[in-house]
Amino acid sequence: MRRLLPAALAAAALFACTSEAPQPSEPVSPAPASQGPSEGPWTGEQLTDRVFAHLEAFQRIADGNAGTRAHDTSGYDASLDYAEQSLARAGFTTSRHTSEAVVEENSTAAVRVVQGTQVDLGTVEPMTRTPGGEATAPVALTTDPLGCTLDDYAAAKGAVVLVQRGRCPFTEKSALAHEAGALALIVYNAPGQGDLRGELADRDDLIPSVGISDAAGAALAAAASEGGIVVQVTVEESRETIQVTNLIADWPGTGDGDVLVLGAHLDSVPAGPGINDNASGVSLALTLAERLAAEGRADGLRVAFWGAEELGLVGSGAYVKSLSQEEVGRIAGYVNLDMVASTNGLIGLYGAGAPFEAFSAELERHDVGYQVLSITGASDHAWFESLDIGVAGFYTGAGEPLSGDEAQRFGAPPTPHATGAITSPATPSTRSQRPRSASASATSPPRAWTA
């Protein structure tokens, strides 16, 4: 694990993204900026300036391309060009990896009560990668509302099962219901969490699975407990094959040695420029790569920028599935940078294994307060984690509120009326409505995230 030196170095540099942005003296063109100091260690101020130079470049790329850098747009292509030229100027050997991937597009779902007490089910969302189909059957409740063991599905045979979100992944709930003989699965959200859209692995042992709100689920559960309620569940799935392009950059001379992969997704959502999500992670990764190269310490570093993350971790999944067993064995660890420039001041660390321990030790050595997060599968680290590769990642938040306690810990003003702890990065308020998690193997997409 000697290649993990860059991970510890990255910990000291992370906080450039959470500092106040300097005022630019002149517009930054979306073209490779200067490489920064060529001799001697970089100062914190130089790191901050460099990160924001990249951020400004990505903003200008979006401004010049209909306001977005999403997959399969000119903004994404320009982002690829910019990142590739920046890494090449720093001395890395770059390559683009393009492959086909199947993604879900515009699937629909509906649930209606055809017999018994009428219940307003509100918005019904299909689980990502759910099988299609239609089932009309009585509603059955699980013994334990969370339904994470086969024994919980004693009444499931020939029924539509209603289960609450929590404790185990959505994929596991669907697989257990299938094993017990259920025809379809309805998952309702945790209390106070509103509508639910989850994600399943691409497996053959699942049944049509949909999500509804906590309120709708509670009402349906109450009606089902009285007996005699029958529902019709309809899921129409739609999938398409897309081309996804990742950018991979290795330091010359790495050869067949171990590598530390420093990764971030390069695409934005279609609705915006994606500066925090995730030009911030890309900008920090570029800055760290440039710094390590300038200081002669980039040996063993691989930088990876993923495409189509916002469509369901597609780019990182395609990359991991392309690796041979030997190539997997050479990866000493994976460091993920996703949403690291929030103004709310949170310093969140997640992961397991040597990279996580290296970051933890470095943060504690510098007496920097941080919060350990559990965001299993909410970002590209999920694919590496599924292969038992040690991972670490940073998350600084989005627009979610900070509690007073967190504001004191992280030096940011508390959000008015904030009473609870910061929400997980995988909740609908902070990420897209596609919660995610790592799969049991790298042959299928990551399992659904559960809170």
Please state whether beta strands 133-141 and 230-236 pair in parallel, antiparallel, or not at all (unpaired).
Answer: antiparallel
Whether 328 and 383 have beta carbons less than 8 Å apart is answered as: no
What is the torsional sign of CA 56, 62, 67, 70? negative
Cβ pair 177, 188 in contact under 8 A: no
Which one-letter amino acid corresponds to residue 299? D
Diameter over CA atoms, the chain: 77
Tokens encoding 132: 């299609």
CA dist 74 to 29, 61, 277, Å?
A: 16, 9, 18
Active site residue 20: no
The span from the CA of 268 to the CA of 385, in Å, is: 23
Of the residues 290, 309, 310, 357, which is catalytic?
A: 309
Q: DSSP for 419-444, please give it.
A: -SPPPPTTSTTTS-S------SSTTS
Half-sphere exposure of 219 (CA within 13 A, CB side): 13
- Write the CA distances from 206 to 179, 195, 239, integer angstroms: 9, 22, 17
| 3-class secondary-structure state, position 268 | strand
Half-sphere exposure of 32 (CA within 13 A, CB side): 15
The C-alpha atoms of residue 311 and residue 267 are separated, in whole angstroms, by 10
Residue pair 208/186 in contact by the 8 Å Cβ criterion: no
| Catalytically annotated residues | 309
